[in-house]
Amino acid sequence: MSEREFDIVIFGASGYTGKLVVEYMHKEYGGNDSINWAIAGRNKQKLSSVRDELGLNENISIIEVDSTDEESLDSMTGSAKCILTTVGPYQLYGSNLVKSCANNGTDYVDLTGEPGWMYEMINAHKETAESSGARIVFSCGFDSIPFDLGVYFVQQAAIKKFGKAAQHVRGRVKAMNGEFSGGTIASLGATMATLKEKPELIQVLANPFSLTEGFAGPTQLDDSKILLDEKLNMWVAPFVMAPINTKNIHRSNALLGHQYGEDFCYDEMMIAGEGEEGKKIAEAMTSANPMGGDNVPQPGEGPSKESREQGNYDVLFLADSDEETIEARVTGDMDPGYGSTSKMIAESAICLVQDCSELAGGIYTPAPAMGEKLITRLVDKAGLTFDII
């Protein structure tokens, strides 16, 4: 793969999130000769406009690719070490690309939060990726990097202090200021449509261990209703992204050789507050639909630069063991769905290409693929913090 023309190709570069990735790459690595990157999409004219608008170097190549045309996909994946794709919903536009990357031994990162599709891709292409050397890493945005790496981070602290991982980790979202992306909302709609055609995927979506390839762990806490977190003395409410994050975290544990234990439990909820007022807030949060309403963004749309920069998130990870609870905190300095996500996926692609030469081919989640190496990059470059409190 060292002979390939490009280190990274950003596929979907003229879309809203893809353009943010391009902007970040230009700002941080535009003059860096150690990373040779290109932009790709189905409309060459739009890509040229992006290159002109952002003032990209003229040596940044433009590749015209159609996600339905396997020949054009193979041409792109054969030219690159890694494909970074923001073209979703992935269940509609991503399957041929994963197949092409697996066949051609090309690394791949995406932003998917679509577990039914991930389940199908693992079953269809895992063996091919292992044979070709392709490292395919799903969910390299807000779903699920802060959560997957947050659990990994707090568990490394537990292992260092106690000689073993904690049996139970609680993910608690303290703050999340920013909008969900239009792509996330479109993915939810595509998932509901897919379930009508493939009702067998209902069981995949309901099972927290659906991505662990046959392993079935213990019964998990029901985080679909409000409850009093007695250790925090706070009421907590269901978190809309828990169904995907929990599946990714259990897959990470399996890929890490059950480093967290075969009896590992994880639940993920939003902090509402203390006492009766906290309970009322939790109930209100449960009844609200964060992805509903008339003003939700459509695919390709998103907030202003000012809105992105004013966003942030703050998540606690509490590793409960017999000895004591270790508490970690992960924060991001921009809105989760766009600003922070675009930085996270860019650094994931660079980390995979530059820092993970020893990683074997396969289909991964972020923690077992990149672990500490990605945490270091995200702290140094992407505005995230990882701290033990």
Write a three-state SS string for 165-219.
CCCEEEEEEEEEECCCCHHHHHHHHHHHHHHHHCCCHHHHHHCCCCCCCCCCCCC
What are the structure tokens assigned to 272, written together?
Answer: 């509402």
In the prediction, which pLDDT does 32 show?
67
Q: Residue 239 in 3-state DSSP?
A: coil
Query: Which residue did the predictor score with more confidence, 194 or 112?
Result: 112
Instruction: Identify which has the larger pLDDT, 179 or 77.
Output: 77
CA distances from 7 to 23, 230, 267, 298, 352 (A): 17, 49, 37, 31, 10
Task: With a cut of 90, say whether residue 181 has pLDDT above it.
Answer: no
**Can you give the pLDDT at residue 215?**
97
Q: What is the mean pLDDT of residues 33-48?
A: 94
pLDDT of residue 190: 74
How many other β-carbons are positioned within 10 Å of the β-carbon of residue 341? 29
Average pLDDT, the chain: 92
The mean per-residue pLDDT over the stretch 124-151 comes to 97
Q: Choose the weakest-confidence range: 157-166, 194-203, 341-350.
A: 194-203
Q: Residue 93: how many CB atoms within 10 A of its CB? A: 18
Q: Cα-flanking dihedrals φ and ψ of residue 213, to 5°? A: 55, 50
Give the span between the Cα atoms of 173 and 178, in whole angstroms: 13
Q: What are the beta bridge partners of residue 385? A: 331
Q: Would you call 372 exposed, middle or buried from its count of C-beta atoms within 10 A (0-12, 13-18, 19+)? A: middle
Phi-psi region of 135 (alpha: psi -120 to 50; beta: other; left: phi over 0): beta
Q: Is residue 198 scored above 90 in pLDDT?
A: no
Q: What are phi and psi of 284, to 5 degrees?
A: -65, -40
Cα 195 to Cα 201: distance, rounded to the nearest angstrom = 6
Q: Count Cβ atoms below 10 Å from residue 369 Cβ, excluding itself.
A: 26
Q: What is 4-49 written as a DSSP string?
A: -SEEEEEETTTSHHHHHHHHHHHHHHTT-TT--EEEEES-HHHHHH
Overall size of the chain counted in residues: 389
Average of per-residue pLDDT across 334-345: 94
Q: What is the pLDDT of residue 323?
A: 75
- Rg (C-alpha) for the chain, rounded Å, is 20
Does the pLDDT value for residue 182 go beyond 90? no
CB neighbourhood size of 306 (10 A): 8
Strand partners, 19: none
Structurally, what CATH architecture does the domain formed by 6-141+340-372 represent?
A: 3-Layer(aba) Sandwich (3.40)
Taking CA atoms, 289 is separated from 293, 300, 304, 344, in Å, by: 8, 21, 22, 26
Residue 311 has pLDDT above 70, yes or no: yes
**Ranges in the chain annotated CATH 3.40.50.720:** 6-141+340-372
Among residues 222, 264, 215, 218, the alpha carbon closest in space to that of 243 is found at 222
2, pLDDT greater than 80: no
For the record, the structure tokens of 156 come out as: 């490394």
In terms of Cα–Cα distance, which of 256, 243, 155 is closest to 205? 243
